Amino acid sequence: MRLSQTFGKTLREQPAEVEMASHGLMLRAGLISKLASGIYSYMPLGWRSVKKIQDVMRKEMNAIGGQEINMPVVSPGDIWKESGRWHEIGPEMARFKDRSGRDMCLAMTHEEPVTDLARRFIDSYRQLPCVVYHIQTKFRDEPRARGGLVRVREFTMKDVYSFHTDQADLDRYYPYMCAAYERICRTCGVPVVKVLSDVGMMGGSMAHEFIYVTDSGEDTLILCPECGYAANREVATFNKAPGQDIGSTGQTQAPAEKVHTPGKDTIAAVTGYLGVSPVLSIKTMAYFTQEDNKLVMALIRGDLDINERKLANFLGTSEVRLASHEELEAHGLVQGYMSPVGIKQLKVVVDDSILPEYSYVAGANEPDYHFINVVPGRDFPMESVADIAAAREDDLCPTCNAPLVQARGIEVGNTFMLGTRYSKSMGANFQDEDGTLKPLVMGCYGMGVGRLLACVVEENRDEKGIIWPITVAPYHVHLLSLGTGSQVLDAAEDLYEKIGQLGIEVLYDDRDESAGVKFNDADLLGMPIRVTVSKRSFEAGGVEVKLRAETQSTIVNLDEFEDKIVGLVRQEFSRFMPES
């Protein structure tokens, strides 16, 4: 392709709305163009990389038994009502009515459509396991798009769905998909970490995310450098041992006693005032549930924090929100002095860090007063106990007790063990070997194409521009001609033809621009190999060849050029292709 004929252009300055380096580089390199918030057009260079990423995905999915299909972007509301998600999903789903008044939506994921297909075409255990996938446009009305292609409203996903006779067969297949996801990312030049994650609106028994670790990410990860434990902070667990000998001070069974604590409305203030360790205090928070707007009291040990995602999952609600000062007052609760003691009308959820063998300091539901000697189970009920604690840096690993570390990252892909979440509600059954009718056991696996592209650029760049992995680069070679002499132009045209005949993709900068402009654009666009034809290169003995990832160039004699360029292309592919 001749750069003079390429649709689009590079930008010298970074647009003002840029939040991440990859976002700015993709706009400046002319890979994408913004149409509206969270909605982008792919320009020719960007679309070439998208198609290569999709080809990598297809190769890996086909290798583990996937069959490619294509499901519609638009879904009838009826199938979402069957699954129950029509009313569970909020305004992020774009709903509308067709001309006949039927509820419709733009699919933000495809569990319902694929389950509808499965109940139509899977009848017998002899057809299982079965794996289908598609690469399709989706729409999710995000409240705040960010980071270019990292969080958008319209996006392209590779969805895979597997159908099994039982959980054991899903357990057998699941690791193959996880390994394929790791190979996809490695081939595209993006290192990822597989972490435990929340099942979210998808449902099911277990889920993992494949995270590209970067400070610009919006997901928080909890990692153990010693044993490899890895989880999204939403679901991460840790060893909740107090970490110190609290001795007999917290083991009294004396009656609860109200004491004056003037102005001490935080854990640090009240425990410091009373001379008590924070591990012997109870932090009390109040939340409203999303669906039924019920007030819930959540308790946790004073040195820990509540994980609102864990709390919402335990309560079976999509979200919880912290009660305001005014809402607490309306329910007779005092901010900073709340306590479960004497509370009967509210549901109380207790973190498992609070133990009945100890006594604690807790609020007295009265300004400037706390209780001491509060014993769980005696002074307040322990009917709903769960892990609702948020893991933090330096907490102890639940597996090996080493200090945990916290990191940020971008979710590139996810995998879910859905089980019978959709097949039961939608009647997707099969006849088993013994003649009984059973619900299909399902797995679901997603990966964002545009988000992976953004991570490729975020990982492979320098201060000058993109450094493409050759596996997904728009072109393998960037050919530049410098000067207007016939020797240079004729040689460049000849090389352009020869490189193409070798089956190597080449972008030829044939524009009438200065050497500085061409070199700057070559660095910005970031093709893996740069070939420069100039009077100076001829005087040095041939043409200049340089890898984008390296600083040094070499002069290659024209008689040796074909062997050199083929060797470099093979070398670059070997850096990113997974081991067989």
Provide the mean pLDDT of the chain: 93
Q: Are 349 and 384 in contact (CB under 8 A)?
A: yes
Over range 108-133, report the average pLDDT. Answer: 97
Q: Mean of the pLDDT values across residues 353-370?
A: 93
- Judged by average pLDDT, the poorest of 14-18, 56-60, 164-168, 226-230 is 14-18
Segment 251-273, tens digit of pLDDT: 667 899 999 999 999 999 999 99
Structure tokens at 497: 């033809």
Separation in Å, CA 194 to CA 198, 408, 412, 495 = 13, 13, 10, 44
Examine the domain organization and report whether 186 and 276 are in the same domain: no
* Full domain range(s) for residue 530: 477-576
The verdict on 299 and 354 lying in the same domain is yes
User: Is 201's pLDDT higher than 70?
Assistant: no
Sign of CA dihedral 132, 135, 141, 143: positive
Q: What is the pLDDT of residues 488-542, one digit of tens each?
A: 899 999 999 999 999 999 999 999 999 999 999 999 999 999 999 999 999 889 9
Supply the pLDDT for residue 244.
Answer: 57
Residue 473's pLDDT is 98
Task: Give me the residue label for tokens 């493409």.
Answer: 468
117: in domain? yes
Asked if the structure places residue 387 within a domain, the reply is no
Residues 420 and 486 reside in one and the same domain: no
270 and 335 together in one domain: yes
In contact, 356 and 329? CB cutoff 8 Å: no
What is the residue type of 55?
D
Co-location of 428 and 570 in the same domain: no
| Nearest C-alpha neighbor of 181 from the set 411, 517, 468 | 411
Do 255 and 373 meet the contact criterion of CB atoms below 8 Å apart?
Answer: yes
For 457-488, how does the pLDDT look when each residue is reduced to its tens digit (9 = 90+)? 999 999 999 999 999 999 999 999 998 888 88
DSSP 129-149: SEEEEEEEEEE---SS-BTTT
pLDDT the model gives residue 249: 56
d(CA 347, CA 365): 16
Distances (CA, A) of 466 to 19, 359, 520: 17, 59, 11
Would you state the pLDDT for residue 143? 87
pLDDT tens profile 437-461: 999 999 999 999 999 999 999 999 9
Average of per-residue pLDDT across 288-315: 93
Task: Find the mean pLDDT for residues 220-224.
Answer: 96
Kindly report the CATH number assigned to the domain that includes residue 190.
Answer: 3.30.930.10
Structure tokens, 377:
């189970």
pLDDT at position 250 is 63
* Range with lowest mean pLDDT among 45-49, 56-60, 71-75, 381-385: 381-385
Whether residue 27 contacts residue 11, with contact meaning beta carbons closer than 8 Å, is answered with yes
Looking at the domain assignment, is residue 238 inside a domain?
Answer: no
Specify the pLDDT at position 578: 56
Inform me whether the pLDDT recorded for 206 exceeds 70.
Answer: yes
Coil vs helix vs strand at 273: helix
pLDDT of residue 580 exceeding 70, the answer is no
pLDDT of residue 14: 87
Residue 394 lies in a domain: no
Residue 100 lies in a domain: no
Instruction: Check pLDDT > 60 for residue 60.
Output: yes
> Rounded mean pLDDT of 549-576?
94
Distances (CA, A) of 540 to 89, 123, 179, 548, 554: 66, 71, 48, 21, 10
Same-domain pairing of 325 and 446:
no
pLDDT at 105 over 50: yes
Answer for the pair 90, 143: CB distance below 8 angstroms, yes or no: no
Instruction: Examine the fold and report which residue of 380, 415, 436 is the final residue of a domain before the chain moves on.
Output: 380
Domain containing residue 570: CATH number: 3.40.50.800
* Separation of first and last alpha carbons in the chain: 33
Query: Could you say which of 362, 380, 398 is where a domain stops?
Result: 380
Least confident of 202-211, 341-350, 546-555: 202-211
Residues 367 and 502 in one domain: no
CA distance 409 to 394: 18
Per-residue pLDDT, 198: 87
Compute the average pLDDT of residues 211-238.
94
Total of domains in the chain: 3
Q: How many whole angstroms separate alpha carbon 408 and alpha carbon 233?
A: 10
Q: In the listed set 363, 380, 397, which residue is the last one of a domain according to the structure?
A: 380
